[in-house]
Amino acid sequence: MPFIEDSIPVNLRALDPNMSPRDLTLIVAATNSMGIGRSGTLPWTGLRNEMAYFARVTKRANAGVR
């Protein structure tokens, strides 16, 4: 399954000039038809590397955020 990285730039300062910038990381998992599961199961097997990446990314905090 290919890894797809897509970004949508949003200028939040245009909405509120006093808003401070923040980083946001999103992880999305879906099949090619945008599905995630069926009958209580996931469509992928052997996700050890992906689960390790997910754990590493979601457990970290930027300096000053903790």
Which of 12, 24, 26, 50 is catalytic? The answer is 50
Task: Answer yes or no: 50 catalytic.
Answer: yes
Task: Answer yes or no: 5 catalytic.
Answer: no
Which of 15, 26, 42, 47 is catalytic? The answer is 42
**Selection from 60, 46, 57 nearest residue 1 by Cα:** 46
Active-site amino acid positions: 42, 50
